[in-house]
A and B are shown apart, each in its own frame.
Chain A
Amino acid sequence: MFSRLLSRLGLFAAPLFALVAAGCSKADLTVRQSTLDPKGPVAQMQYDVFMDTVWLVVVLFVLVGGLLVYAVVRFRSRPGETAAPIVEEGHGNPLVEIGLITASIGALVFIAVPTLSAIWYTDDVPAESVPKSKLSAWYGQPLDKAVAEQVLEIDVIGKQWWFRFEYPQLGLTNDAKHSVPNEMVIPKGVAVRINLRSEDVIHSFWIPKIAGKVDLMPGRKNRMWIQADQVGHYYGQCAEFCGDSHAYMLFRVEVLEPADFAKWVAAQKADAAPVAAGSKAEQGKNLFAAKSCVMCHNVGGHFGAGAFGPDLTHLASRKSLAGAWLDNRDPKAQRALEQTSPLGTEASVPVDRATFKANLIKWIGSSGIAAGADGQPTKDVKPGNRMHYYKMFNVAGLRETHQKLTADELDALAEYLLTLK
């Protein structure tokens, strides 16, 4: 009986231990969206609290689990014992009971104290972080003193199924035709306050290596603060179920040295360069207007009507497309770099033009609105997205026929979009 019991236990326990052991390799703990590889003070604080709970739980698991296994083995019935049960009215042992309850409460205090301090720490930017803000330097010219001493604020607006980022203090807003879709950029080592809003359903803003998530509630303004202490390319994702294409609602965060951040702000305010006359790109630019892309999308310097869809002024500089679902970098080169770079998964290769163009054709061509490179409608990249399902959200009163594109037109449109650096 005993050996059978042990082998039965071993049958269950062996794969579990193998799993746990295999799950603990270094590479697995630093994957792109790992919460176990914090790169800023907020994520670090959350990680520290998590580790407190881990230690408590491991100790309890060994103690209680050990006792359970011991009791099951020690008090198993042996052949030849009387079958008659022990008759007594079990009231338990008050001293044991009270002792265990007190010990449980003590164990919980062990995690309650760091929990409480972390709740307040992660709630808003700590006072000592505020003076480090250099808004005037990033803005490019001196700001009003009251504004200049503020902490950098970024408005995050969630929509089905992409994020829009605005920097109101730096003049990068949707109203100013300078909003930043899907790829947020922040300076390194500086606290940033994030204001979270939603324009439709509930979304949740989560960059695991920089901070845990806070929801974007329609009709409310939520906030959080973040800080990244290492430059690099970070991966985030919407973490609240938000409809058909929830899984496709990703985003990226680029952390730059503060000096580079100032350059980036300046570049964001620049208009798109004019396209060469008679080029394929010019043909694409005309299609952009004729096929009503212009109704939703802004291209600074070219078209200024659209405010509903992502701003495309600097589309060609972005490393991702379609709510960061499609990656515009060469996947092989990126994988190789992640293996070798000291930055690990935060290292990033530049945009690859061929990959980018294929993505554009796939993305715009999906949903039967336009033909793909082979003349056939490509598979829907993001089911339900507003670019195709105008029927649901008849944004501009469009008719389907106005949006049909041939393969050649699609190619020209992609060429045009690729000029928008």
Chain B
Amino acid sequence: MSHDAHHAPVASKLELAPERSDLGLYRPDRTRGLLDWLTTVDHKKIGVLYGAFAMLYFLIGGLEALAIRTQLARPDQTFVTARMYNQLFTMHGTTMIFLGVMPLSAAFFNFLVPLQIGARDVAFPRLNAFSLWAFVFGAFVLNASWLFEFGHLAGWFDGFAWHQALTYTDFAPANGWFSYAPLSGTFGQANAALQAPRFTGVGTDFWIIGIQILGVASLAASFNFICTIINMRAKGMTMMRLPVFTWMTLVTSFLIILAFPAITVALIELMFDRQFGANFFNPSAGGQPVLWQHLFWIFGHPEVYILVLPAMGIVSEILPTFSGKALFGYPIIVFSGAVIGFLGFAVWSHHMFTTGLGPVPTAAFALLTMAIAVPTGVKIFNWLGTIWGGRIRFTPPMVLALGFIWMFMCGGFSGVMHSAAPADSQQQDSYFVIAHFHYVLLGGVLLGLMAGLYFWFPKIFGRMPNATVAYVASGLVILGFNLAFGPMHYLGLAGQPRRTHTYHAGNGWEDWNFVATVGAFILGIGVFMAFANLVYTAFKGPKCSSDPWDGRTLEWSLPSPVPEYNFAQSPVVSARDAFTEHKHGTKRIAYEADGGEAGVHMPSQSWMPMLAAGGFLFIGFGMPMMAMGIPHAGWIVVSGVAVLFAGIWFWALEGPGGYMLKTPAVSPTPAGTPAASTSAH
């Protein structure tokens, strides 16, 4: 087929003539079903895939949490072994942070950012697909360590020489999500094969390479979103008219590209220590274990804000919508988000108050940590200002958003308590800390993300989740959450340390641990109900209008589900909260004269992002297999690098492609007119 064929606009991509790329391969543009999802470059489909995988890993991480709580329900329990417990809390933390919250945030970034800024896709659609598949394969590598672990426990490997030669036989990581060297590293001197003795088994190697791959995915996605937000805003969408969620996406993306290099360097150093005889963190060879902590936390603390800021953005969209009132102090909310991001890089050592920093650095980091409470407080005050004087409509997303403010406030308060370093020396590594960050990350972030799911689900699928089930699920989540984590404040102050797989009776911890376990199960049921409700809605839920909440931003002006070209004509906005102004105010959304029969340009689908990311699958399995001592495993790594480069090479050579898609006839007003939206209530 000639190269010019795609210039003829079509109404549906299925009508396209088969087209060859510059490599001579057929482009997968005309696919449907599974092949369409695997090769898609549509930001909305990628967002849905991110969300689906994130919810899957939330459930896996949740099951790990329930196993942990079952073990701790009573003193001296033997539900799991010490090592299995260590593996469970390592994978629970890693899964929830890197495979749960971050991809769920990425799902919102993907789906919403182009819609909110009036764009037709992200800046680099294929890079976006690459981010997704790198995440999927990295997550798989990390969790495949469980398969090796079960194979080991079942005795499948017993006959192999490499298995008999192993000193440590943990195959799933047991080093904690923080992976402190030298426990995660080496000691003594390396032998002629550049192998030094270690404290943990190949689980740590799975962890290192898994996080490394996930870092690539996050970095690629962040560059993409920064380019998208800076360059692809619709006419009139100035920076100070950006919806707050998009603003927070921008700040988060900058945090990722500044924070992930630190962990990348640290992981490479740790990998070289373990596999190639380097001594970065090996104290017996002059290495510095505390260096790992600095590198980890200068990533790890901004990471907290990487997790929190998107949820803050979501809540900043939901509160004005259901208060019927613009966000109070928009410039200050945006500015405080940026200040949080900036200060987030200046407080990392508050995770290290007990490492013997000395009084001057301890004092400096204590004061900076207190300082970061100010912009966080500003956000809470402004949310309060937003609902103040409004007309609050109670809907599932609004209830969850109000729950977010409440829980996040509690988590922030215990955070302020930690900033007092002398008090923190009693709280550090105790259950008090667990209570604190679960109030922030679960009471805060998870409630915020659930609010976002219930808020935008009607936009994503055009179907409305069942409100009663949503209320019951939210109630169970909030109740179970407080039952599980409220008592942990007490347990920590009563001296129970974290990361201990059991405890004796007689310390006064028995009753509250049992209560916490009961709460954890209630919480688990609530989250499962909330997710099940969403999954059911995606397939069978009742259809709803395109603007069921009387939304304020551009995405609500589009039909639900959103057509693949997003905007039939590019919007021209003249106000913040453009759609509210359009419906109820004076400044209406105008439209550019594009689209229609001439069509809009759509990017071609491609196998190459997935192929390139597939290289990570080989690298991800090859590196730990090398560490296991499996013969010739190094060639798996080499072939993985080859696949990665081949994928990128073909990706570059296949040419951009693209086709023209017709959009509906030019109309003077967008889909969701005021009349349509008010009748929805």
Chain A interface residues toward B at CB < 8 A: 1, 5, 8, 11-12, 15-16, 19-20, 23, 27-28, 31-36, 43, 45-47, 49-50, 52-54, 56-57, 60-61, 64-65, 67-68, 71-72, 75-77, 81, 83-93, 96-97, 100-101, 104-105, 108, 111-112, 114-116, 118-123, 160, 196, 200-202, 204, 206, 208, 211-215, 217-220, 222-223, 235, 237-248, 325, 327, 331, 334-335, 383-384, 391-392
- Residues of B in contact (CB 8 Å), total 119
Partner of B422, one of A11, A31, A119, A334: A119
Q: Which residue of B lies closest to A198 (CB)?
A: B283
Q: Give the shortest distance, in Å, between B215 (CB) and chain A (any CB).
A: 23
- Best-buried of A28, A242, A246 by chain B (most CB within 10 Å): A246
Q: Give the shortest distance, in Å, between B204 (CB) and chain A (any CB).
A: 12
The reply to whether the CB of B384 lies closer than 8 angstroms to some CB of chain A is yes
Residues of B within 8 A of A211 (CB): 425
Q: Give the shortest distance, in Å, between A286 (CB) and chain B (any CB).
A: 32
Verify B499–A215 contact, CB threshold 8 A: no
Partner of B490, one of A28, A121, A201: A28
Q: From known contacts A85-B580, A392-B167, infer whether A241 and B420 are also in contact, taking CB-CB under 8 Å.
A: no
Partner of B406, one of A50, A68, A101, A111: A68
Residues of B within 8 A of A118 (CB): 420-422
Q: Give the shortest distance, in Å, between A368 (CB) and chain B (any CB).
A: 15
Verify A90–B507 contact, CB threshold 8 A: no
Q: Which residue of A lies closest to B325 (CB)?
A: A86
Residues of B within 8 A of A196 (CB): 356
Contact with A along B284-319 (1 / 0, CB 8 A): 101111100000000000000000000000000000
Main secondary structure of the interface of A (DSSP, over half): mixed
Residues of A within 8 A of B380 (CB): 64
Contact with A along B455-497 (1 / 0, CB 8 A): 0000000000000000000010011001100110010011111
Verify A19–B515 contact, CB threshold 8 A: yes
Verify A90–B493 contact, CB threshold 8 A: no
Verify A219–B187 contact, CB threshold 8 A: no
Q: From known contacts A11-B479, A75-B388, A239-B428, infer whether A119 and B421 are also in contact, taking CB-CB under 8 Å.
A: yes
Verify B494–A115 contact, CB threshold 8 A: no
Q: From known contacts A89-B575, A104-B377, infer whether A244 and B490 are also in contact, taking CB-CB under 8 Å.
A: no
Please measure, in the bound complex, the distance between the C-alpha atom of A160 and the C-alpha atom of B585, giving whole angstroms. Answer: 69
Residues of B within 8 A of A8 (CB): 475
Partner of B390, one of A75, A96, A115, A120: A75
Q: Give the shortest distance, in Å, between B520 (CB) and chain A (any CB).
A: 15
The reply to whether the CB of B59 lies closer than 8 angstroms to some CB of chain A is no
Q: Which residue of A lies closest to B167 (CB)?
A: A392
Verify A247–B425 contact, CB threshold 8 A: no
Please measure, in the bound complex, the distance between the C-alpha atom of A16 and the C-alpha atom of B581, giving whole angstroms. Answer: 42
Please measure, in the bound complex, the distance between the C-alpha atom of A113 and the C-alpha atom of B649, giving whole angstroms. Answer: 59
Count: A-B pairs, CB below 8 Å: 337
Please measure, in the bound complex, the distance between the C-alpha atom of A219 and the C-alpha atom of B280, giving whole angstroms. Answer: 12
Q: Which residue of A lies closest to B380 (CB)?
A: A64
Q: Which of B79-87, B152-160, B662-670 contacts A (4 or more CB under 8 A)?
A: B79-87
Q: Which residue of A lies closest to B417 (CB)?
A: A53
Verify A75–B391 contact, CB threshold 8 A: yes
Please measure, in the bound complex, the distance between the C-alpha atom of A325 and the C-alpha atom of B82, giving whole angstroms. Answer: 14
Partner of B168, one of A65, A123, A392: A392
Q: Which residue of A lies closest to B519 (CB)?
A: A15
Verify B490–A23 contact, CB threshold 8 A: yes
Residues of A within 8 A of B500 (CB): 237, 246-247
Interface members, chain B 499-527 (any A CB < 8 Å): 499-504, 506-509, 512, 515
Q: Give the shortest distance, in Å, between A53 (CB) and chain B (any CB).
A: 4
Verify A33–B550 contact, CB threshold 8 A: no
Contact with A along B350-380 (1 / 0, CB 8 A): 0000111011001100110011011001101
Verify B422–A46 contact, CB threshold 8 A: yes
Please measure, in the bound complex, the distance between the C-alpha atom of A200 and the C-alpha atom of B152, giving whole angstroms. Answer: 27
Residues of A within 8 A of B180 (CB): 201-202, 240-241
The reply to whether the CB of B394 lies closer than 8 angstroms to some CB of chain A is yes
Residues of A within 8 A of B533 (CB): none
Q: Which of B27-35, B250-258, B327-335 contacts A (4 or more CB under 8 A)?
A: B327-335
Please measure, in the bound complex, the distance between the C-alpha atom of A43 and the C-alpha atom of B427, giving whole angstroms. Answer: 12
Verify B332–A97 contact, CB threshold 8 A: yes
Verify B512–A11 contact, CB threshold 8 A: no
Verify B394–A76 contact, CB threshold 8 A: yes
Q: From known contacts A200-B187, A200-B199, infer whether A31 and B507 are also in contact, taking CB-CB under 8 Å.
A: yes
Q: Which residue of A lies closest to B432 (CB)?
A: A35
Q: Give the shortest distance, in Å, between B664 (CB) and chain A (any CB).
A: 28
Partner of A111, one of B384, B416, B483: B416
19 A-B pairs besides A34-B508, A35-B493 with CB distance below 8 A are A11-B475, A12-B482, A33-B495, A34-B493, A35-B494, A35-B495, A50-B417, A53-B420, A61-B410, A75-B323, A85-B580, A104-B378, A119-B422, A212-B422, A212-B424, A218-B182, A243-B86, A244-B83, A246-B499
